[in-house]
Amino acid sequence: MKNRSKSGFTLIELMIVIVILGLLAAMIMPSLTGKGEEAKRKLVCVQMKSIYNGALDMFKIDNSRYPTTDEGLEALVKNPDPQKYPNYSPSGYFKDNEIPKDSWGRNFIYMNNDGKVELVSLGADAKEGGTKEAADIKLSQCK
């Protein structure tokens, strides 16, 4: 008779490992839920600050004012009025002449109220207002 030693895991050992992995997942998943939306909201603030401190400030340095609300962020890609903005950068103010979009792939809303600039993202629900993850994100509220 040959003495065979079997190597491998028994069904019981595999079941114990699966139960342990399930318990670990059950403890970790609640803390990860919602982190994706929170990260998107934080990224929107970073994007808005970058637009404001980069392209909009360069536009203002060159032209002594920010674009009007009607001209919007499109004014950072193409000169809306060569008479009004004679010092406009020939290459525009965004890399590749593309206006950045928010984390959900939508355009930012730009407002200029007598030189006070505001950028807004409508958030996850793409509707004005909202609460929690669906709330609007405003540059003035970003820390």
Domains, the chain, ordered by start: 36-141 (3.30.700.10)
pLDDT in tens, 59-89: 999 999 999 999 999 999 999 999 999 999 9
Three-state SS for the chain is CCCCCCCCCCHHHHHHHHHHHHHHHHHHHHHHCCHHHHHHHHHHHHHHHHHHHHHHHHHHHHHCCCCCCCCCHHHHCCCCCCCCCCCCCCCCCCHHHCCCECCCCCECEEEEECCEEEEEECCCCCCCCCCHHHCCEEHHHCC
What's the pLDDT at 49? 94
User: Which residues in the chain show pLDDT less than 70?
Assistant: 1-6, 30-34
pLDDT in tens, 24-34: 888 777 666 66
User: Would the pTM count as exceeding 0.75?
Assistant: no
